[in-house]
Amino acid sequence: MGWSIPEDYLERVYAGWLAKNIGVRLGAAVEGWEYERIRQLYGELTGYPADYKRFAADDDINGPLFFLRALEEKRGETMTAQDVGEALLNYAPYEHGFFWWGGYGVSTEHTAYLNLRRGIPAPRSGSAEVNGLAVAEQIGGQIFIDTWGLVAPGHPEVAAELAKKAASVTHDGNGIYGGIFVACAVSLAFVETDIRRVIDQALVFIPADCEYARVVRAMLDYHDSHPGGDWWEAFAYLRGHFGYDRYPGLCHIIPNAGVMALAFAYGEGRFDDTLNICNMCGWDTDCNVGNVACVMGVLLGMEAISEEKWRRPINDLCVRSGVLGEMNITDIPYGTAYIARLAYRLAGQEPPPGWKPLLEERIHDCHFNFPGSTHALEIRSDGASNTARLINTDEDAHTGVRCLKFFATRLNEGQRFFLHRRTYFWKDDFSDSRYDPAFSPTLYPGQRVSGWLKVPDYGSDTWGCSYARDSRRDVTVCGERVRLARGGDWQEVSVKIPPMEGGLIDEAGFLLWAPDEKTRKGYQLVVLADDLRFDGQPDYTLDFRMEKTEEWSAKHSEITQLTRMKGTARLDGALHISCEDVGEWYTGSSEWTDYQADFVMRRGSGSRQYALVRVQGAIRGYAVGFDGDVLVIEKNDNGYTRLAGTPCPVPTGETLTLSVEARGNRISARCGDVTLSCEDRERPWLRGAIGFGVRGGSEAVFERVRVKGI
pLDDT at 14: 98
Q: Give the separation between CA 60 and CA 109, rounded to whole angstroms.
A: 12
Tell me, what DSSP letter sits at residue 704? Answer: E
**In 3-state terms, what secondary structure has residue 240?**
helix
pLDDT at 659: 98
Q: Give the separation between CA 417 and CA 597, rounded to whole angstroms.
A: 36
Query: Residue 218: pLDDT above 80?
Result: yes
Q: Give the separation between CA 476 and CA 8, rounded to whole angstroms.
A: 41
H or E segment and range at residue 676: strand 674-679
Q: Over the chain, what is the mean pLDDT?
A: 96
Q: Is the dihedral of CA 176, 177, 178, 182 positive or negative?
A: positive
| pLDDT range class, residue 522, cuts 50, 70, 90 | low
**Digit-coded pLDDT (tens) for 112-171:** 999 999 999 999 999 999 999 999 999 999 999 999 999 999 999 999 999 999 999 999
pLDDT at 410: 77
Quote the longest CA-to-CA distance of the chain.
84
**Digit-coded pLDDT (tens) for 577-636:** 999 999 999 999 999 999 999 999 999 999 999 999 999 999 999 999 999 999 999 999
Q: Which residues contact 491 (CB under 8 A, 6 or more apart)?
A: 452, 453, 454, 464, 482, 484
Judge contact between 446 and 455, C-beta under 8 A: no
**Digit-coded pLDDT (tens) for 94-119:** 999 999 999 999 999 999 999 999 99
Judge contact between 499 and 445, C-beta under 8 A: yes
Distance of CA 523 to the CA centre of its chain: 39
Q: Which residues contact 698 (CB under 8 A, 6 or more apart)?
A: 578, 579, 604, 605, 606, 607, 608, 609
Number of neighbours of residue 233 by Cβ within 10 angstroms: 12
pLDDT at 409: 84
Number of neighbours of residue 491 by Cβ within 10 angstroms: 16
Tell me, what DSSP letter sits at residue 409? Answer: -
Rg (CA), the chain: 26
Q: Give the separation between CA 452 and CA 396, rounded to whole angstroms.
A: 12
Judge contact between 401 and 358, C-beta under 8 A: no
Judge contact between 512 and 416, C-beta under 8 A: yes
pLDDT at 517: 63
**Digit-coded pLDDT (tens) for 381-390:** 987 666 889 9
Query: Residue 531: pLDDT above 80?
Result: yes
For the chain, the first-to-last Cα distance in angstroms comes to 38
Q: Give the separation between CA 249 and CA 238, rounded to whole angstroms.
A: 18
| pLDDT range class, residue 2, cuts 50, 70, 90 | low
**In 3-state terms, what secondary structure has residue 213?**
helix
Instruction: Report which of 70, 104, 106 is spatially closest to residue 88, judged by C-alpha positions.
Output: 70
DSSP 170-188: T--THHHHHHHHHHHHHHH
Judge contact between 497 and 477, C-beta under 8 A: yes
pLDDT at 382: 86
Count the residues in the chain. Answer: 710
Judge contact between 405 and 390, C-beta under 8 A: yes
Q: Which residues contact 67 (CB under 8 A, 6 or more apart)?
A: 84, 87, 88, 144, 147, 166, 169
Enumerate the β-bridge partners of residue 632. Answer: 625, 645
Query: Residue 521: pLDDT above 80?
Result: no
pLDDT at 113: 98
Query: Residue 673: pLDDT above 80?
Result: yes
Instruction: Give the mean pLDDT of 330-350.
Output: 97
Judge contact between 584 and 681, C-beta under 8 A: no
pLDDT at 638: 97
Query: Residue 520: pLDDT above 90?
Result: no
Q: Give the separation between CA 509 and CA 486, rounded to whole angstroms.
A: 21
Percent of the chain's residues with pLDDT above 90: 95
Q: Which residues contact 308 (CB under 8 A, 6 or more apart)?
A: none
pLDDT at 411: 79
Query: Residue 172: pLDDT above 60?
Result: yes
Q: Give the separation between CA 256 and CA 175, rounded to whole angstroms.
A: 11
Instruction: Give the mean pLDDT of 452-467.
Output: 95
* One-letter amino acid for residue 13 of the chain: V
pTM for this model (two decimals): 0.97
Tell me, what DSSP letter sits at residue 689? Answer: E
Judge contact between 340 and 9, C-beta under 8 A: yes
Query: Residue 1: pLDDT above 60?
Result: no
**For the CA atoms of 44, 50, 54, 58, what is the dihedral angle to 10 degrees?**
-70
Q: Is the dihedral of CA 336, 560, 107, 54 positive or negative?
A: negative
| pLDDT range class, residue 523, cuts 50, 70, 90 | confident
59-68 helix and 332-347 helix, angle to the nearest 10 degrees:
30
Instruction: Give the mean pLDDT of 295-314.
Output: 97
Instruction: Give the mean pLDDT of 209-237.
Output: 97
Q: Which residues contact 706 (CB under 8 A, 6 or more apart)?
A: 540, 541, 597, 598
Query: Residue 544: pLDDT above 90?
Result: yes
**In 3-state terms, what secondary structure has residue 31?**
coil
DSSP 591-654: T--SEEEEEEEEE-SSSEEEEEEEEEETTEEEEEEEETTEEEEEEEESSEEEEEEEE----TT-
| pLDDT range class, residue 61, cuts 50, 70, 90 | very high
Query: Which spans in 92-132 are helix H?
Result: 108-117, 128-131
Instruction: Report which of 689, 698, 639, 636 is spatially closest to residue 662, judged by C-alpha positions.
Output: 689
211-225 helix and 195-203 helix, angle to the nearest 10 degrees:
150
Q: Which domains does the chain have, with CATH numbers?
A: 9-319 (1.10.4080.10), 365-536 (2.60.120.260), 562-709 (2.60.120.560)
| pLDDT range class, residue 437, cuts 50, 70, 90 | very high
